[in-house]
Amino acid sequence: MRLKDKVAFITGGARGIGLGFAEAFVHEGARVVIADIDIDRATKAASGIGPEASAVHLDVTDLAAIERVVGETDKRLGGIDILVNNAAVFDMAPITDITEASYEKVFDINLKGPLFVMKAVANAMIARGKGGKIINMASQAGRRGEALVLLYCASKAAMISATQSAALGLVKHGINVNAIAPGVVDGEHWDIVDAHFAKWEGLAPGEKKAAVAKSVPIGRFATPDDIKGLAVFLASSDSDYILAQTYNVDGGNWMS
């Protein structure tokens, strides 16, 4: 029960990694709010977890909605102790083919949204005066360039940078900001990635995924279960002396 009586706000928690974190946090004694643009799926996810989880509609590109939803959650649950800035989208094109629409979508959801969610939650934590934990979802994609994945890689590199600056700005308030950089995690996100590679590299559906699975040093894709231990650690008091870090959980993928 490392998160007993804590309140966690998880964006994009209706499925995938965010849902895995929501389940793990409740298992550790927390109450969890799943804030997702897909409210039907978020509601189902919350009721599947049980009474300690609830769902709220949030589009992280809507800055007014962020302020409202964070304010209401803070009031309803008596304060937010943990934020997981997890919602993101994937898109793919080399520099010769990027579009303004893709740029705006990727950067609005993967960078601007998380920055303003961080701002709203940090201000609520400061006003409450009890500190807190902020976990940003970066990616191995933020650690290196990829010829076909320019915008997504750049958005995740920016999250690593924002984690460092926010951590240095918030440490005086007892708020620890860190990030997690997964490698390849199986689920709907990677089904989308695979479909993009199929289009750009002329591959059959599933071909890229199979090749990538073989190339990970540990020999397989991750599941959300492989990532959740670090999230619980970063959300708990065990990580009180840690800030501004981005940790890889990638089966050795980035190193290789």
**Residue ranges that bind ligand NAD, judged by CB under 6 A:** 11-12, 14-18, 36-38, 58-61, 86-89, 109, 137, 139, 182, 184-185, 187-190
CB of 169 to ligand NAD, least distance (A): 22
Question: Minimum Å distance from CB 52 to ligand NAD?
Answer: 19
Considering the complex, state which of residue 131 and residue 223 has its C-beta at the smaller distance from ligand NAD: 223
Q: Which is nearer to ligand NAD, 174 or 187 (CB)?
A: 187
For ligand NAD, the closer CB: 44 or 173: 44
Q: 190 Cβ partners below 8 Å, 6+ apart? A: 184, 209, 221
Q: Give the gyration radius of the chain's Cα atoms.
A: 17
The least CB distance from residue 158 to ligand NAD, in Å, is: 12
Compute the residue count for the chain.
256
State the catalytic residue, choosing from 103, 152, 241, 247.
152
Nearest of 174, 170, 176 to residue 134 by alpha carbon: 176
Distance CA 115, CA 250 (A): 24
From the list 99, 180, 87, 171, the residue with the least C-alpha distance to 131 is 171
For ligand NAD, the closer of residues 132 and 224 by Cβ is 224
Residue nearest to ligand NAD (CB): 16
* Catalytic status, residue 152: yes
Residue 107, φ and ψ in degrees, nearest 5: -75, -30
In angstroms, give the least distance from the CB of 149 to ligand NAD: 11
Neighbours of 178 (CB within 10 A): 25
Residues annotated as catalytic (active site), given as ranges: 152
